[in-house]
Amino acid sequence: MIEFNNDLYFLLHVQHKIDSQIRIIKFDKKKKKFTKSKKVFYGAYPSLHTNGRFLYIIFNQKSESDFLISLKKFDNDLNYLDSTILYKKPFDSYTSGEYQSIVDLHQKTNLIFIDWSDKSWLKSMDISGYFHQN
């Protein structure tokens, strides 16, 4: 759950399932009810973030023989704005565990993740450019 523009946003998905439907749900605090629901995609291990202007969902995907970490951008009405593949590598099997986290360090936004493609336990990418765009 994340608070954004005075409303609450939730992610729904099946935990630890490789191809779970990922949905984002908006709870309008003024109306005191859920007002919107949108299917984002199919994937695994989604996380919800905001830079104060937009909502972002980061999640893992498998695409044929590739491991992907994708980023989807939405406004406060859950209108889809943009999609970016942050990371892509070939792989042949999955690794168990939780997979990514966003960490703000030294004025940079970093994606910390486990890479399914080479089974490494930790990688870090500076993704500040994706979160500080207009």
Provide the token pair at 128.
């500040």
What number is the average pLDDT over the span 95-123?
A: 73
- Tell which wins on pLDDT, 62 or 36: 36
- What is the number of structural domains in the chain? 1
Q: Would you state the pLDDT for residue 15?
A: 81
99 inside domain:
no
Q: Would you state the pLDDT for residue 35?
A: 93
43 inside domain:
yes
Q: What is the pTM of this model?
A: 0.81
What number is the average pLDDT over the span 7-18?
A: 88
Q: Is 53 exposed, middle or buried (0-12, 13-18, 19+ CB in 10 A)?
A: middle
133 inside domain:
no
User: How does pLDDT run across 45-97, given as a tens digit for each residue?
Assistant: 888 988 889 999 998 888 878 888 899 999 999 999 999 999 888 876 665 55
Domain range enclosing 71: 2-94
116 inside domain:
no
83 inside domain:
yes
d(CA 123, CA 33): 39
